[in-house]
Amino acid sequence: MKNLTSIQSSTSHPVRLAALKQSFQEWGAAQDTLTRLSKRLSTTLCLETQLGILAEEVAAIIPFDAMNYRHRIARREFVFATGVGGPHRCEYRLTLEGRQYGTLSFHRRQKFSEEELAGFEMLIATVICPLRNACRFVEIEQAALTDSLTGIGNKRAMEEALIGASSLAERHGAPWSLILCDLDYFKQINDNHGHVVGDHILARAAEQIERSLRTSDNVYRFGGEEFAVLLPHTGEQAARDVAERIRLAVGTMHVDAGDERVCVSTSCGVATYLNGEDHEHWVARADEALYRAKAHGRNCTRVFATIA
């Protein structure tokens, strides 16, 4: 038997429907700044696009020389900047429901008035929810490309990066190099000390590799104990030097496993991109160099040599 609430909800209210229709038409026809800004932001979940829209709408009301946004999302620094800054700045920490969503700042040669500062606050109140949604979308995208144990890129992220690197190398002619690293005798560590110790070593190894790199370099975990390092603007000899730096850094770490200290070494294979090859062939050459390192006693670096 239906209760009173369900009976009432099943009956339309012509007056309310008419009011809804009128409100929708007014909303669609509205040209005020906040409505237009809300509409434009609702068309995309791309954080960079949203910030570009915000910059356009703000500039039409409050002149500024530069707008900067910075936020750390899933271990990565996201930075958006437009224009050249002046000596005067107003900065806002974007917070919603107790969570931080980055810092937004505006710069200008002339000081901002109190009315302009109030205008910034009204605009930010309008954009905070769409920016929050865009930040969460970035988190979801990055989670799909991140290894959950080490926090670095996974195999899918590595493949996407290699495809992009191959395209850039072809277009600009700059050298790119790939290093494959494999922790030596890692199966014995898991067998003798357990997977908890093994997982800790993997996480520590990822940290050591990252510390050995420039900010422009990227590291990925593409297998159980296998890591890949992608080096932009890096030739064969420089890539070998980086591989040796990684090898020495990993060799210095140790993990306490009860009464025993567990150490690990790594073997490295290096290959520099060749014009015209696909990313799979590039990886295969680096893997061949890694195989040679393993065959020559491990804990060493080998390069798939190319002739200029």
Q: For residue 142, give every residue at least 6 positions away whose Cβ sits within 8 Å of its Cβ, in sequence order, or none.
A: 73, 74, 75, 76
How many angstroms separate the CA atoms of 25 and 20, rounded? 9
Helix segments in the chain, DSSP class H:
4-9, 14-29, 33-41, 47-59, 114-144, 155-172, 186-193, 195-211, 236-251, 279-295
Token pair recorded at residue 166: 């191959």
* Cβ-contact 58, 123 below 8 angstroms: yes
Token pair recorded at residue 215: 């900010």
Mapped onto helix, strand or coil, the DSSP state of residue 38 is helix
Type of residue found at 140? I
Give the catalytic positions in this structure: 225
| Cα Rg, the chain, nearest whole Å | 27
Q: Could you give the C-alpha distances from 212 to 78, 206, 209, 286, in angstroms and in order?
A: 22, 10, 5, 19
